[in-house]
Each structure stands twice: as C-alpha cells, then as structure tokens.
Chain A
C-alpha cells in the first residue's frame, strides 16, 4: 500500500520561507513522478509542480505562479520529496498535497499539510 505523509506546514510571514517534506512508503520516489498540488481555502486544487523519475531525467517543472520561488527536490536515501518555498505570498496560503503519478494520472495522495502566509 502506498502512503505519502507530508510535514512542515505552518504559519509564515509574507516574504518568508518554508520547506515541506513528503515521506513515501510503498513506492520508491526516484522511480516515480512526484507532484505537489495545493488547494487554497474555498477553491479547487491547483497543480504546483513535479519532479520526474530518475530514469526520465529527474528534472522538475513548475506552475507559472510559483516558478522561480519554489523548488522540488528528492532525497533517495530517505525516500522523501521536498518542496522548498521561498518569497511566500498570501496567495500561497493553501493545503499542500504530495502526490504520485502513474500513467499520466495522479494515483496517490497524501493527507496534506496546511501552509498559512500571514502577518
């Protein structure tokens, strides 16, 4: 059974930084396309970015609103994916979900971690 467990959310002031972690079990993160999705209060889900599997190049891609501010990385020894968020804005307030893709679909989701950007 695949489990994705996010951590690292919390309250941060505008302009601040936060790093989210996603520890995986039941799958190997370097063999998977790992994606971050967020859901702002009262809104639908939004794709944030993803990191491809090692065999597919291991590169990361980002949505336009976060490009240049967010970075997705991976620690294969810990089977964990990270989302480093810098220059946070109030619009970044959301529940952030770690997900895993398969066959061009998101198959697995974590429970999410809440990030609140407020002064």
Chain B
C-alpha cells in the first residue's frame, strides 16, 4: 500500500481558512468511510481531529471539518488561530492486509 498524498505545506493568516487534501485510491480513501485526520505538534502525541470522514470527536472545535470527493479527502481549518500551526496528516483504513495507510503530512503555518 502506498502512502496517501498530501501537499507538504499550507499557510494562512489568522482568521482565514486553509484546506488540506489527502489523495488515495479506490482501495483506501475511496472505498472506506474510515478516514481520519490528526494534528501533530512535534514532540507531543498526535491528536484525532476527524474520524469517519466527517465526524469530530468531543472537544474538537467546529473550526475543523472533513469531507471527501472520490479518492480525495479534505480537512478544512476555518478561522485560523496561532495554535493551529502544526503538522497535519490523514489516515485511511485499507483492508485486512495493511489496515492503515497514512498521509505524507502537511505543515500548516499561521
């Protein structure tokens, strides 16, 4: 299974929005509703932002939203704040042989 493709970087000013794409295949992103997004501040534990393509866990601000079109999932961060500056990566279920594949990661700069 190949990694999911993300842009290496994205940026926006405080208050603006940024959207990050995560492109897979019909064998992962396009086939399962098990797509997740994580925020990772270096040295800390990655934090789940979105699961099941669009669902926010309790405690995650509604500034974070997920969507999918075909084999590409997207994460939108609205109303950018300084603390949103971090690495973001996606993940998808990919079947029983290799259950999870991950994105290449996107560094968001605010």
Contacts and interface: CB of A to CB of B under 8 A. Distances in A.
A1 B105 CA distance: 26
A35 B99 CA distance: 10
Contacts of B57: 107
A103 B51 CA distance: 9
Contacts of A97: 45-46
Contact of B36 (A50, A106, A111): A106
Interface in B17-40: 32, 34, 36, 38
Contacts of B91: 45, 105-106
Is the interface on chain B under 10, 10 to 19, 20 to 34, or 35 or more residues? 20 to 34
A107 B46 contact: no
Contact of B45 (A35, A46, A47, A109): A109
A109 B102 CA distance: 14
Specify which of A35, A37, A105 lies most central, judged by the most chain B CB atoms within 10 Å of its CB.
A105
Contact of A50 (B34, B48, B99): B99
A104 B4 CA distance: 17
A73 interface: no
Contacts of A104: 32, 34, 93, 99
A27 interface: no
Given A109-B46, A110-B45, A103 B52 contact: yes
Interface of B: 3-4, 32, 34, 36, 38, 43-48, 51-52, 57, 89, 91, 93, 98-105
